[in-house]
Amino acid sequence: MNLYKKIIKPILFKQDPEYVHNRFTRIGVFLGNYLFLKRIIKLLFYFENKKRLGQNLFGIDFKNPIGLSAGFDYNIQLTKVLGDIGFAFMSGGTVTYNFYEGNKKPRLARLPKSKSLLVNKGFKSFGIKKVLDNVSFTSYNSAKVGISIGATNSPLICDPEAQVKDILKSFKYLMQNEKKDNFSYFELNISCPNVAGSGVLTDQDVLDNLLSEIRKIIGKKVLFVKFQAEIEWGEARELVKIMINHNVDAIIVANLLKKKTNYNFEKEEIQKIIDNDWKGNFSGKPVEKFSNDLIGKIYKEFGDRIKIIGVGGIFSAEDVYLKIKLGASLVQLITGMIFEGPQLIGKINKDLVKLLEKDGFENISEAVGSFWDNKINSEINI
């Protein structure tokens, strides 16, 4: 960890973040193609304790609760190496039906003191046909791979009818492709704030129709839905009910944050974003309170009917453990890995075992929702 944070990170953080991202993607692809390199990576980063951390959910064996969120490997190129770093699962994408080169640059900016990234990729994607042509899998120490699907980012595809049609085309193409069974789950992204027509899929009637049609296409395949961070609970409750009605297996909570007034922002960093009029929305620590609040509320009302995957502000095992105790069965991250380094995944898993042992839990599934065992009915305020 000291090597990354004291030597590598200072060098990387002086370079353009998107350039660094693309470079590390190419390195990851290279490493994943050679078994002896994969074994070296595993030796350096990997930690496993299936007895404490393993779960079977949706018929899928997860060796630990840590996943990579959609938005990092957006063309699903890192399937062969992420398991060696320690991830149990990954959401590739978000993939769209048509090619999209991404929003206008700059599309990434770092806010180190705020532990956040400004993100404005806008569903940058090769398009589902090329993604599926290129994607490959490994049986050696692999992470479970999911594919995240969203509507093509285009001014011609920004009304509800056009977005629904576009998404359904992707699911139909996926189900006709021989690689569909290599994906452990499918994910629907209805919550990206950086695309044309953002928010239209969270209309109750639109979402109800969309999920109905997706279920007709994919049958009983495992389906997750990615949720927004900033939403009134009354509205969120109704959307969750719709997901349950259509047998959505898990809800991913939550996507990027729009507000620039969040207390977790360092004033000078956020002012620089405002002064430069940089477009985009925020990941990392500023999302944490919104995510945790929603996780708790969803779990308390619907925890026996739908699983929760927690996203937002994960930089340590303690961050993960809180989401688990609030009601998340699994978690995903990106920003924490960028700031702390790839060794973070193994460290989180190792420290999670210690936290479980301290609290007397034999398995992490026993900790899910345990925050509420004390009958705490007040609002979560973290």
**Domain limits of the chain?**
2-373
Contact 223, 58 (CB under 8 A): no
Q: CA dihedral in degrees (211, 290, 366, 67; nearest 10)?
A: 70
Please give the chain's pLDDT, 382 residues, in tens. Answer: 577 888 888 898 989 999 999 999 999 999 999 999 999 999 999 999 999 999 999 999 999 999 999 999 999 999 999 999 999 999 999 999 999 999 999 999 999 999 999 999 999 999 999 999 999 999 898 999 999 999 999 999 999 999 999 999 999 999 999 999 999 999 999 988 888 888 899 999 999 999 999 999 999 999 999 999 999 999 999 999 999 999 999 999 999 999 888 778 999 999 999 999 999 999 999 999 999 999 999 999 999 999 999 999 999 999 999 999 999 999 999 999 999 999 999 999 999 999 999 999 999 999 999 999 865 444 444 4
219 burial via Cβ count (<10 Å: 0-12, 13-18, 19+):
exposed
Q: How far apart are CA 163 and CA 161, in angstroms?
A: 6
Q: How far apart are CA 294 and CA 300, in angstroms?
A: 10
- Give, in words, the CATH class of 2-373: alpha beta
Quote the Cα angle for 150-101-147, to 5°.
30
* DSSP secondary structure, 163-204, as one string: HHHHHHHHHHHHHHSGGGGG-SEEEEE---TTSTTTTGGGSH
Q: How far apart are CA 221 and CA 201, in angstroms?
A: 21
User: What is the structure's pLDDT at 264?
Assistant: 84
Q: How far apart are CA 32 and CA 78, in angstroms?
A: 7
Q: Is the peptide bond before 94 cis (omega within 30 degrees of 0)?
A: yes
User: What is the structure's pLDDT at 230?
Assistant: 93
Q: How far apart are CA 309 and CA 350, in angstroms?
A: 20
Q: State how beta strands 223-227 and 250-253 pair.
A: parallel
User: What is the structure's pLDDT at 375?
Assistant: 52
Q: At what angle do helices 285-302 and 233-245 cross, to 10 degrees?
A: 60
Q: Which two tokens stand for residue 87?
A: 């991830």
Q: How far apart are CA 14 and CA 258, in angstroms?
A: 26
What 3-state DSSP class applies to 32? helix
For 104-155, write each residue's pLDDT tens digit: 999 999 999 999 999 999 999 999 999 999 999 998 989 999 999 999 999 9
Residue that has been written with the tokens 């704030």 in this structure: 193
What residues pair up with 194 in beta bridges, in sequence order?
none
Spatial neighbors of 382 by CB under 8 A, at least 6 apart, are 288, 289, 292, 293, 322
Expressed in percent and rounded to 5, the helix, strand and coil fractions of the chain are 45, 15, 40
Q: Which two tokens stand for residue 96?
A: 């769209």
Contact 149, 170 (CB under 8 A): yes
Q: Three-class SS string for 205-264?
A: HHHHHHHHHHHHHHCCCCEEEEECCCCCHHHHHHHHHHHHHCCCCEEEECCCECCCCCCC
Q: How far apart are CA 147 and CA 318, in angstroms?
A: 28
What element of type H or E holds 110?
Answer: strand 108-111
How crowded is residue 175: how many other Cβ atoms within 10 Å of its Cβ? 13
How crowded is residue 55: how many other Cβ atoms within 10 Å of its Cβ? 19
Quote the Cα angle for 269-270-272, to 5°.
65
How crowded is residue 104: how many other Cβ atoms within 10 Å of its Cβ? 9
pTM for this prediction? 0.95
User: What is the structure's pLDDT at 75?
Assistant: 97
What 3-state DSSP class applies to 6? helix
